[in-house]
Amino acid sequence: MKRWNGWGDDNTDYPLSELAEEYLANLFKAKDLPSDAAIEDVIQSVPDSPFGNNDFINVEPEQRLRHALGQSLPDWINLRSGRIPRLPDGVIFPTSTDEILATLEFAKTSQSHLIPYGGGTSVVGHINPPKSDKPVLTLDLHQFDKLVDFDEKNLLATFEAGITGPQIETELNALGYTLGHFPQSFEYSTLGGWVATRSSGQQSYYYGRIEDLFRGGQLLTYKGELNIPPFPASAAGTDLKQLILGSEGRIGILSEVTVTIKPLPEFEEFYAFFFKKWESGMLAVRQIVQNDIQVSMVRLSDAQETETTLILSGKRNLLRWAGFGLDVLGYRKNRCLLILGITGRRTRTSQALEAASQICKIQGGLYAGKYIGTSWKKSRFRTPYLRNSLWEKGYALDTLETAAPWSKIQQIKDETINAIEDVNHQKGDAILVFGHLSHVYPTGASIYITYIFKRSPDPDENLERWRDMKEAASKAIIISGGTISHHHGVGRDHSRYMDEEKGLVGVDLISNITQYFDPDGILNPGALIGPKFENENENHVNIQK
Ligand SMILES: Cc1cc2nc3c(=O)[nH]c(=O)nc-3n(C[C@H](O)[C@H](O)[C@H](O)COP(=O)(O)OP(=O)(O)OC[C@H]3O[C@@H](n4cnc5c(N)ncnc54)[C@H](O)[C@@H]3O)c2cc1C
């Protein structure tokens, strides 16, 4: 069963190795930790629902609890301490379009809010019930998970929107195809969630981001059905798919999604290279992309991430392999690991590997074979389980991400890391921060930052520390010219930065679109565009550039 207060299945663990424990214990001072709240106790504290339990609405406290929060760090802090700010008053599990339409109608007549819910893997507060006097219903689409149409001739497949990553790949792989969308949350996140948050999979350079894969579908709204046919391209005015992408449950329920698919690749391998300096690795990566070399993934870790992830993997073999000969060659200190994915038809992949290797070599990259890349691939969906083990040993982990043009990447990475470190150093707290570059484009790349700290026994202290770091990092990102999110989306945690990102006209336009589709403000209020508070400071963040 899915963990109620952490990541993944109860029966899957990724324990911290002795080596990792030792490494972290050396960095952080031990603090006493209270044990986590027990689900039975939290269930006891769930308030009554205004709705009665029936075939249509599930008001069981456990179901409501399991749909109350997502996967962000503040969500974890609240879940683990048993303090749930607001629960949905009922959960609805539709199995047909008619049931979704009936739910929309019920939410309207009962004057409730309605939150569309895919896998609940949001890390920015997308699915958390808003502060409101009105009842809140959550619409969990996990039973809406069928392959509706497979169109081999046109390389298209249509699915119900609640289908998860593994279910999609099982269906398509059996027919010799793949969608190729592999976010790290693949195990639980859903097709509808990916579209609604503009998700990006790890091999997006080869397969495309979700906006490239999303070809059409059906959105059920208060204005009626919006059906978008899968034209290969169209000049008929505004592309309505763009209204749905990133709509974060504010304009309707995505019931069906048509995606473009690819035949299963003939060849796929992940290779490792070490660079003596991050700057050389970054230059190699930029040249690979700008020379249109057909790689499927690049992931360049900075020196701190290289060291930490090798240690956290707990695999002595991996460390031995990664350390082999490196001292002698001078790659040990500050070495940065590049994992390079090559995917596709054999004829093209061998050329791609040769061309990419040549560029890496010119920039001083040391080829380290396939072992590290193969290990990365094997554990890529298991790595999130480490977060559970870290928490249990007293450590909190959070991530944030952005994207920017190549000319700004270095500054944005440095400034964001400095901002997070400064918040902690001012208070005399230790923090471990590191980053990697991935999701590359000819014009720029995304930067992904991870930070780990020893949590306090006091959940309020942890929340405050998270808030300070999040705000400092978000401001640094905006000031240095990055987007507030490359793929996690806006949710409730980033909505205060939308004025800066989109400008007042842009925000007004998005608000008008949500109002057009949902004039009564029923659908997921607070996500994407925040509520308007009386205190102006709460509406947006004051940023002096
Ligand atoms: C460990 C971990 C790793 C992650 N890695 C990645 C990654 O590599 N790439 C990436 O892009 N993201 C990643 N994420 C973030 C998250 O998985 C994505 O945002 C994902 O797209 C959310 O999908 P979901 O089905 O869980 O949606 P939910 O979290 O359930 O919902 C997200 C939003 O979409 C809306 N929504 C969901 N379904 C529908 C629907 N059918 N109709 C209308 N609106 C809908 C919801 O209302 C909500 O606003 C990660 C998260 C975690 C916890």
Each residue's pLDDT tens digit, 16-63: 999 899 999 999 987 778 899 999 999 999 999 999 888 899 999 999
From 230, 263, 296, give the residue that closes a domain: 263
How high is the pLDDT of residue 332? 76
Q: What is the mean pLDDT of the chain?
A: 95
Residue 102 shares a structural domain with residue 117:
yes
Residue 48 shares a structural domain with residue 127:
yes
How high is the pLDDT of residue 315? 73
At residue 502 the predicted structure's pLDDT band, cuts being 50, 70 and 90, is very high
Tell me, yes or no, whether 193 lies in a domain. yes
Residue 188 shares a structural domain with residue 216:
yes
- Ligand 1 centroid–CA 19 distance in Å is 33
Residue 156 shares a structural domain with residue 133:
no
Contacts of 521 (CB under 8 A, 6+ apart): 113, 515
From 333, 355, 380, give the residue that closes a domain: 380
Q: For 34, left (φ over 0), alpha (ψ -120 to 50), or beta? A: beta
Strands 136-140 and 90-92: parallel
Residue 386 tokens, joined = 């480490």
Q: How many domains does the chain have?
A: 4
From 83, 106, 140, give the residue that closes a domain: 140
Each residue's pLDDT tens digit, 298-355: 999 999 999 998 888 877 777 776 776 676 677 777 899 999 999 999 988 999 999 9
514 lines ligand 1 (CB under 6 A): no
Cβ contact 482:476 at 8 Å: no
- Nearest atom (ligand 1) to Cα of 119: 26
Cβ contact 495:530 at 8 Å: yes
130 lines ligand 1 (CB under 6 A): no
The lowest-confidence range among 71-75, 154-158, 210-214, 347-351 is 347-351
Cβ contact 158:148 at 8 Å: yes
258 lines ligand 1 (CB under 6 A): no
- Going by alpha carbons, the residue nearest to atom 2 of ligand 1 is 185
Tell me, yes or no, whether 437 lies in a domain. no
Cβ contact 92:103 at 8 Å: yes
Residue 81 shares a structural domain with residue 130:
yes
125 lines ligand 1 (CB under 6 A): no
How high is the pLDDT of residue 535? 60
102-110 contacts: CB < 8 A, separation 24 or more? 102/56, 103/137, 103/139, 103/253, 104/220, 104/222, 104/253, 104/522, 106/56, 106/137, 107/137, 107/522, 108/222, 108/520, 108/522, 110/51, 110/135
How high is the pLDDT of residue 331? 77
H, E, C per residue of 456-504: CCCHHHHHHHHHHHHHHHHHHHHHCCCCCCCCCCCCCCCHHHHHHHHHH
72 lines ligand 1 (CB under 6 A): no
- Going by alpha carbons, the residue nearest to atom 52 of ligand 1 is 185
- The continuous run of DSSP H or E covering 371 comes out as helix 371-378
How high is the pLDDT of residue 536? 59
Residue 420, exposed/middle/buried by CB under 10 A (0-12, 13-18, 19+)? buried
CATH number at residue 214: 3.30.465.10
Tell me, yes or no, whether 12 lies in a domain. no
Please check the confidence at residue 251 and state whether its pLDDT lies above 80.
yes
Residue 258 shares a structural domain with residue 272:
no
As a whole-number percent, the residues of the chain with pLDDT over 90 amount to 89
Q: What single DSSP character describes residue 171?
A: H
Residue 114 shares a structural domain with residue 83:
yes
Each residue's pLDDT tens digit, 382-410: 999 999 999 999 999 999 999 999 999 99
Instruction: Single out the residue of 108, 111, 168, 141 nearest to residue 254, CA to CA.
Output: 141
Tell me, yes or no, whether 455 lies in a domain. no
Q: Best mutation site among 123, 143, 185, 212 for ligand 1, i.e. most ligand atoms within 8 A of its Cβ? A: 185
Distance CA(280)–CA(426), nearest Å, equals 32
Residue 197 tokens, joined = 């948050």
Tell me, yes or no, whether 508 lies in a domain. yes
Residue 92, exposed/middle/buried by CB under 10 A (0-12, 13-18, 19+)? buried
At residue 539 the predicted structure's pLDDT band, cuts being 50, 70 and 90, is low
Tell me, yes or no, whether 445 lies in a domain. no
Each residue's pLDDT tens digit, 56-99: 999 999 999 999 999 999 999 999 999 999 999 999 999 999 99
196 lines ligand 1 (CB under 6 A): yes
Cβ contact 409:283 at 8 Å: no
Residue 194 shares a structural domain with residue 221:
yes
Tell me, yes or no, whether 309 lies in a domain. yes
Each residue's pLDDT tens digit, 524-535: 999 999 876 656
- Ligand 1 centroid–CA 493 distance in Å is 14
Residue 136 shares a structural domain with residue 180:
no
Give the Å distances, CA to CA, from 206 to 4, 193, 212, 379.
34, 21, 11, 20
Give strand pairing partners of 257: 159, 217
Each residue's pLDDT tens digit, 435-473: 999 999 999 999 999 999 999 999 999 999 999 999 999
- Nearest atom (ligand 1) to Cα of 183: 8
- Mean pLDDT value of segment 124-128: 98
Residue 229 shares a structural domain with residue 255:
yes
How high is the pLDDT of residue 532? 65
Instruction: Provide the domain limits for residue 532.
Output: 495-538
165 lines ligand 1 (CB under 6 A): no
How high is the pLDDT of residue 57? 97
pTM for this entry = 0.97
Tell me, yes or no, whether 413 lies in a domain. no
